[in-house]
Structure 1
Amino acid sequence: MSSPVVAVHGIWNRRRAAPEAAAVALASKWSLSLAAGYRAAGLTTAPPSVAGTYYAHLLNDGAQGAVPDLDRLTPDEQRWAWSWIEALGAPDEAAQGPVTYPLRQGLDWVARRHRRSAEIVGRLMSAFLREVYVYMTRPGVRERCRDIVMEAIVGSGARIVVAHSLGSVVTYEALCANPGHDVDLLVTVGSPLALPGVVFEGLVPEPRDGRGARPAGVARWVNIADPGDLVAVPARLGDRFPVDRHDEAHLGAVDFHTLDGYLSCGLTAAAIAPYA
């Protein structure tokens, strides 16, 4: 019997259902995406089952519910937004911060540079910043999110974990906090773990000498990022973390930051198949 895969969601996954039902619904959807990834990779074996996780309800203070609005970001969130814009490569004249220019000027630069609509970029930025802010500034929420991920991994018996977006941060910290639990394969997709000024410096455990630790129980770590993914910045985690392999995916304009897009990618399936 193949090992199941635990998939950990990122931003924009708030559901009206109870947490247990939401996890099951997400797992069902992700199973279809992983099957598509197996086909894309030319694999003839059946894909492993997918066990879902769900923690978005813990971030529900406006972070994942209502339509996000850049104008409602807190001062701390605005500072994080400018750090993000600078990490995306904004030139000096576009990255002077909210004192000199309104935040939307930096957002417009990002939208033009990456050929996305300003509305989509704004929604992505505000949703991500709010969810990350809640996670990283509320110790009780942070601990419970990590517990949910570990409960899914341990309860399912999975030896493979695919963690997306903010979920890669939650999973990384959960595995670091449980060094006695072994995982054969960790696949981070669309990960912001190395995002300076927003995520990297606030990780637990704290990075040392500009490098993040490797979760002790992880045997192999693969990172996959679309170069157009605005959350996976910088895309190559190997510059900051001891990953074993980095792959560059090309998901297209629609799925550039969705877990379904990454699971449907043949690169993700190819990484998973030898361990399933």
Structure 2
Amino acid sequence: MGALQIVGVHGIRQGASATTEALSRSWQESVDDGLACSGPAEVAGPVGLTVPSYRGVYPKTATRYMRLGPDAARAADDVPVDAAEEAFILEALAAYAPSAVAKEQDSPTAGRTLGAGRLTPRILRRAQAVDRVAGKGVTDRLLWLVREAHGYLRHEETAAAVRALIREALVTTGARMVIAHSLGTVVFYDMLTRGEVPPAADGGPGVASLITCGSPLGWLAVRKGVHTAGSPLSVPAGVEWTNLYAANDPVNKGRGLSHLAVGVTDVRVDNGKLNAHDVHRYLDKPAIAEGIGKARRH
């Protein structure tokens, strides 16, 4: 029996060395480790993982928040965010910690930056308020995600190019299983809602098994960019959706998606306290191996 083909959809902070080959190899190693330690390993059999890198089509934003591509280091780091991105960031942080908005200080804190590039006073005030509610340093990590989400959801040419690369990988490999992490869960959910996932040869859903890990879909204000506000999150009929979340993962806030989504099975995993959002801490979990086993049998 041949290897089960899986396409992975990666998240943020993929540098110039994160090629498709490198990402695929590193994800494969973590999944193989999990399978080797799991009961369903014999049932699952071998797998082939392809993780298309979209770093080459992402905009080279002038800030080390977006250190994608070889030209990032030469960008003008002091360029501030523009008005559209400021509004996007403020909305996202408010959605992450609604109670923080009321705790914002009236006067801006001059001089504080979160990484490189000078953020606006309004962002600084909200970021500090979120830290007071969610924990010191939380926004330092969240802003990577929020700014790259802005790059995806507010730049249609970029978004279309990202989705095209993932679609190409699905067509080339014939994979009917997808594992998505972090911002990758937003990207693939966007593909599903747009009907851009190629169908199977029998006319059924092209992807029958979806595993999301560390997903921000439950809070990120930008989800309205890929979803109708007021309606539950959902995937097409015939797609089995499993969502892994970790208690100490700041991106999913220690919560799953079942309170906002229909047809999803939430699985809580233990990724430890440090780097709980790291994709490799998700990939070697028994729930991944179990999902592979189910996909293999079907």
Aligned to 1:261: 281
**Equivalent position SS for 1:238:** coil
Please name the residue that 2:257 is paired with: 237
Bigger Rg, structure 1 or 2: 2
Verify the 8 A CA contact 2:108 2:125 in the aligned structure 1.
no
In the alignment, the residues of structure 2 paired with residue 228 and residue 95 of structure 1 have an alpha-carbon distance, to the nearest angstrom, of: 25
Alignment partner, residue 223 of structure 2: 200
1:71 deviates by 8.8
2:196 aligned with 1:178: yes
Q: Does residue 176 of structure 2 align to residue 159 of structure 1?
A: yes
**Which amino acid is 2:10 matched to?**
H
Moved more, 124-133 or 149-158: 124-133
* Structure 1 stretch displaced more, 74-83 or 148-157: 74-83
In the alignment, which residue of structure 1 is the partner of 2:22? 25
Cα displacement (A) at 1:132: 0.9
Counterpart secondary structure, 1:224: strand
**Which consecutive residues of structure 2, in runs of 5 or more, have no partner in the other structure?**
110-120, 200-205
Q: 2:148 aligns with which of 120, 131, 141?
A: 131
Work out the CA distance in 2 between the residues paired with 1:98 and 1:147.
45
Deviation at 1:150, TM superposition (A): 1.1
Which letter maps to 1:202? G
The one-letter code sitting in structure 2 at the alignment partner of 1:268 is: I
Give secondary structure in 2 for the equivalent of 1:87: helix
Q: Residues 192 and 235 of structure 2 are in contact (CA less than 8 Å); yes or no, is this contact kept in structure 1?
A: no
Cα distance per residue 1:166-211 (max 9 Å; x no partner): 11111122233236622120111111223242x22111xx415332
Deviates more, 1:180-189 or 1:231-240: 231-240
Percent of aligned positions with the same letter in both sequences?
Answer: 25
Shift of 1:263: 0.4
Is 248-257 or 101-110 further displaced after alignment? 101-110
Asked whether the equivalents of residues 191 and 197 of structure 2 are also in contact (C-alpha less than 8 Å), the reply is no
| 8 Å Cα contact 2:214-2:277 kept in structure 1 | yes
The one of 167, 181, 185 aligned to 1:150: 167
Map of 2:114 onto structure 1? none
- How many residues in Structure 1 have an aligned counterpart in Structure 2? 265
Please report how far the alpha carbon of residue 125 of structure 1 lies from its aligned counterpart in structure 2 after TM superposition.
Answer: 2.4
Residues 207/102 of structure 1: CA separation in 2 closer, same or farther (3 Å cut) = closer
> What are the superposed Cα offsets for residues 213-271 of structure 1, whole Å, 9 maximum, x if unpaired?
4235x520111111322222583322333233111122123331122121022222222
CA distance in 1, matches of 2:292, 2:132: 35
**Are 2:236 and 1:212 aligned?**
no
| Stretch deviating more after TM superposition (5-14 or 251-260) | 251-260
Cα separation, 2, equivalents of 1:201 and 1:242: 17
* AA aligned opposite 1:58: V
Amino acid at match of 1:255: N
Alpha-carbon distance change, 242 to 58 in structure 1, aligned in 2, over 3 angstroms = same
Aligned counterparts, 1:85-164, within 5 A: 85-89=93-97, 90-95=99-104, 103-104=123-124, 106-108=126-128, 110-111=130-131, 118=137, 121-164=138-181
Q: Deviations over 1:131-156 (max 9, x none)?
A: 11111111111111111111111211
Partner SS state of residue 237, structure 1: coil
Q: Structure 1: which 5+ runs fail to align?
A: none
Q: Which residue does 2:118 correspond to in 1? A: none
Distance 1:128 1:92, change over 3 A: closer
For 2:279 and 2:249, locate their aligned partners in 1 and report how far apart those are by CA, in whole Å: 12
Counterpart CA distance in 2 for 1:208 and 1:109 is 26
1:14 and 1:59 mapped to 2: Cα distance? 11
Q: Give 1:64's match in structure 2, choosing from 64, 67, 84.
A: 67
Q: Provide the secondary structure at the position in 2 that maps to 1:247.
A: strand
**CA spacing shift, 1:196–1:95, aligned 2, 3 Å:** farther
**2:214 alignment partner AA:** G
When residues 70 and 39 of structure 1 are mapped into structure 2, their CA distance, relative to the original with a 3 A threshold, is farther
- 1:114 positional shift: 5.2
Shift of 1:33: 0.8
1:193 is paired with a residue of what secondary structure?
coil
CA distance in 2, matches of 1:53, 1:98: 44
Residue 267 of structure 2 aligns to a residue whose secondary structure is strand
